[in-house]
Amino acid sequence: MLLKASPAFSILNSGVGDLFPPSNVLFPSTACRGSRLSVRAAKGTSTKSLTGVVFEPFEEVKKDMDLLVPTTPLASLARHKFSDESESAVNEQINVEYNVSYIYHALYAYFDRDNVGLKGFANFFKDSSIEERGHAEKFMEYQNKRGGRVKLQSILMPFSEFDHEEKGDALYAMELALSLEKLTNEKLLKLQSVGVKNNDVQLVDFVESEFLGEQVEAIKKISEYVAQLRRIGKGHGVWHFDQMLLDEQVLLHAG
C-alpha cells in the first residue's frame, strides 16, 4: 500500500504576516483558543484531500494478481500459503484417523458378540470409532478450507479376534487402544512439525488447538484403564469393569 501526503493540504501557523493566505490552502479560523486549531477546506479543493493522505492503487497486488487469484478452472481460489507438503501430510493424517476408527469398530463388533457380551467395552469402542471418524472428517474439512485436495487412501483390514491367552480380551484390547492413541499422537506431532517447517502458522494452530490437548487426555484416560485391568486380571473383575464403563457412558451421553 502506497501512501503520500496530499500537496493540496496544509495548515498555516498563526504567525505574524499570514493574514491573507493563498486560496488553495487551509488556514486557521479567525479565533485560536489556546492550542486548539480549526481548519477548513480552501475554495476549489477536493474533499478527498481533507485526510491529508491519498490512497494509490495497490501495485503489489496488481503485480501478483494472477498468482493470488488463479484463472484456471481446476485451481483452488482459496489456497494461500499452503504447501504441497502440508497438503500431503493432512491427507496422511486423514488416513491415520480412518484406520484407527476402523480398528475401534472391529473391537466394538467383537465385544458386542453374544458369546462375549461386554456391552461397556462394546460401547466404549463404538464411541471411540465415531470420534476418530469425526477427526478424519474435520481434517477433510480443513483440507478443503485451505484449498487442498482430499485424497483418500486404502484402509487396512483389522483383526476380528482379540482374545489373548495370557492377558484376556479386555486388557489386550485396552492395551491395543493405548498403542493406537500414542501412534495417533506421534502422527499429529509430525503433522505439526510439517506446519512449522513450512511456516504455516494456521496449520500449526489448527493441530495444536483442535487435537493435541485432547490426545494427551485420551492417552491418560486409557492408561488408567490399562493399569486397572492389569490389577483385575481375567476373572470376575472384568465384568465389574465393564459395568463401570457403562455407567461412565451413561453420564457422558446424559451431559
Q: Could you tell me the residue ranges of all domains in the chain?
A: 84-249
Residue type, 168: G
Query: What pLDDT was estimated at residue 19?
Result: 46
Residues of the chain with pLDDT under 50: 1-21, 23-33, 37-39, 41, 47
Query: What pLDDT was estimated at residue 43?
Result: 54
- HEC per residue, the chain: CCEEECCCCCECCCCCCCCCCCCCCECECCCCECCECCECCCCCCCHHHHHCEEECCCHHHHHCHHHHCCCCCCCCCCCCCCCHHHHHHHHHHHHHHHHHHHHHHHHHHHHCCCCCCCHHHHHHHHHHHHHHHHHHHHHHHHHHHCCCCCCCCCCCCCCCCCCCCCCCHHHHHHHHHHHHHHHHHHHHHHHHHHHHHCCCHHHHHHHHHHHHHHHHHHHHHHHHHHHHHHHHCCCCHHHHHHHHHHHHHHHHHHC
pTM reported for the whole predicted model = 0.73
Q: Is 132 annotated as a binding residue?
A: yes
The domain 84-249 having CATH identifier 3.60.20.10: the answer here is: no
**H or E element in which residue 3 lies:** strand 3-5
Q: Is 215 annotated as a binding residue?
A: yes
Query: What pLDDT was estimated at residue 58?
Result: 63
Cα–Cα dist 55/173, whole Å: 66
Q: Is 135 annotated as a binding residue?
A: yes
